[in-house]
């Protein structure tokens, strides 16, 4: 039910990001272009609504906490078409959630306990470098340690890879299983359990973004109670 209501309300009351003007292309590594583009962008909003940024600065009340990959091709606001104040975001390599990682835990705590988000979305994506290189023994130490849990996901679900010989299909399956594992870990955290115990509306969803088509896939593995 929570997943159905989420999909029904996903496009309601949005402040959509304006992509009607061309986005900046970094030319010859010139960061000046980025600053100039920012000023033009900010001025365009001020012309339409003078109090837009002052009102936005007052507070944030996002309904969604988005945990995604740091990949430059998967910007959450663009692929979801949700604008300012709609998403609270945490990104890292291969959209991992680790209880021992203070950045992950503290961001989840802030989102659930203080912002009272109603939805947590873990969004993986196809052709994810973290997934593709999870079994690479030549990675630098910190990166190797970061993606090691993906190997564990594979070991637990090894039977699902029987007969899979194509590397791309192997990675697609692992991308989805990895999302499911992060959802399970988030559901087991103290802050999420406390929210459910207090009857706080909260559902955890698993999605995958397909780079090849630009579309989001709902994996339909929503968890909305302990």
- Give the residue numbers of the binding site for Zn(2+): 69, 71, 125, 128
Cα distance between residue 121 and residue 66, in whole Å? 5
Secondary structure string (H, E, C) spanning 118-131: CEEEEEEECCCHHH
- With tokens 């990895």, the residue in question is 178
Catalytic pick among 18, 21, 73, 152: 73
From 125, 172, 205, 224, the catalytic residue: 125
69 catalytic residue (yes or no): yes
Confirm if 67 and 97 have CB atoms less than 8 A apart.
yes
- For residues 83-116, one letter each, b for 16 or more C-beta atoms within 10 angstroms of the residue's C-beta and e for the rest, the string is ebbbbbbbebbbbbbeeeeeebbebbbebbeebe
Q: Which residues pair with 125 in a beta bridge?
A: 209
Does the active-site annotation cover 123? no
- For residue 189, count CB atoms less than 10 angstroms from its CB and return exposed for 0-12, middle for 13-18, buried for 19 or more: middle
- Choice among 128, 172, 205, 224 that is catalytic: 128
Whether the CB-CB separation of 122 and 95 falls below 8 Å is answered with: yes
Binding residues, as ranges, are 69, 71, 125, 128
- Among 69, 104, 119, 205, the active-site one is 69
Strand, helix or coil at 217? strand
**Is there a catalytic annotation at residue 73?**
yes
- Whole-angstrom distance, CA of residue 221 vs CA of residue 218: 8
Active site residue 128: yes
| Catalytic residue numbers, as ranges | 69, 71, 73, 125, 128
């Amino acid at each position: 039910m929570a997943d159905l209501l989420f999909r029904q309300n996903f496009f309601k009351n949005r402040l959509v990001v304006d992509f009607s003007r061309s986005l900046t292309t970094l030319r010859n590594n010139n960061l000046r272009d980025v600053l100039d583009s920012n000023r033009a962008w900010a001025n365009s909003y001020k012309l339409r609504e003078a109090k837009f940024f002052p009102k936005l600065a007052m507070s944030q009340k996002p309904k969604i906490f988005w945990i995604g990959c740091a990949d430059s091709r998967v910007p959450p606001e663009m692929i979801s078409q949700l604008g300012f104040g709609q998403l609270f975001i945490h990104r890292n390599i291969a959209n991992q959630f680790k209880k021992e990682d203070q950045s992950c835990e503290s961001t989840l705590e802030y989102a659930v306990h203080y912002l009272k988000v109603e939805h947590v979305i873990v969004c993986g994506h196809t052709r994810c470098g973290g997934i593709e290189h999870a079994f690479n023994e030549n990675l630098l130490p910190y990166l190797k340690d970061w993606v090691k849990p993906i190997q564990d996901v594979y070991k637990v679900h090894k039977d699902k890879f029987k007969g899979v010989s194509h590397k791309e299909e192997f990675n697609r399956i692992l991308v989805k299983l990895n999302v499911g594992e992060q959802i399970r870990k988030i559901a087991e955290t103290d802050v999420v359990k406390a929210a459910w115990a207090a009857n706080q509306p909260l559902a955890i969803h698993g999605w995958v973004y397909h780079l090849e088509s630009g579309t989001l896939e709902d994996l339909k593995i929503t968890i909305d109670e302990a």
